[in-house]
Amino acid sequence: EVQLVESGGGLVQPGGSLRLSCAASGFTFSSYWMSWVRQAPGKGLEWVAKIKQDGSEKYYVDSVKGRFTISRDNAKNSLYLQVNSLRAEDTAVYYCARTYSKQSGGDYWGQGTLVTVSS
């Protein structure tokens, strides 16, 4: 059974940092692209970042470029999102999702981890 479990969220002050993690199981993690998607409270879905199987290609939404870094450790079946210089508008539930290719959507999603940016 495919499982994706996010962790690492919490309350952080503006300008602060967090490292979000996504533990994958039930499939060959190294064979899939992976994405992060976020959802602000009461709002819609927003794609954040995507990474290729070997980490050689990474894509980001403009609003997080230079502040967020997506990475993965295939030996640990884990996906990460380093989030720096956090702003109030980054407050959201962050989901990781498995995808087949750069252009494809997520076929399995985790339950999400909440990041709250507030002083």
Exactly one of 27, 78, 84, 108 binds other proteins (CB under 8 A); that residue is 108
Does residue number 27 form part of the binding site for other proteins (CB under 8 A)?
no
Strand stretches in 1-119, DSSP E: 3-7, 10-12, 18-25, 33-39, 45-51, 58-60, 68-73, 78-83, 92-99, 106-109, 113-117
Does residue number 68 form part of the binding site for other proteins (CB under 8 A)?
no
Candidate segments 24-32, 66-74, 78-86, 96-104, binder of other proteins by CB under 8 A: 96-104
Exactly one of 62, 66, 75, 89 binds other proteins (CB under 8 A); that residue is 62
71 membership: H or E segment, kind and range: strand 68-73
Candidate segments 18-26, 46-54, 72-80, 81-89, binder of other proteins by CB under 8 A: 46-54
Torsion over CA of 85, 21, 43 and 101, rounded to 10 degrees?
110
Candidate segments 11-19, 24-32, 75-83, 99-107, binder of other proteins by CB under 8 A: 99-107
Does residue number 38 form part of the binding site for other proteins (CB under 8 A)?
no
Instruction: Find the largest Cα–Cα distance for the chain.
Output: 40
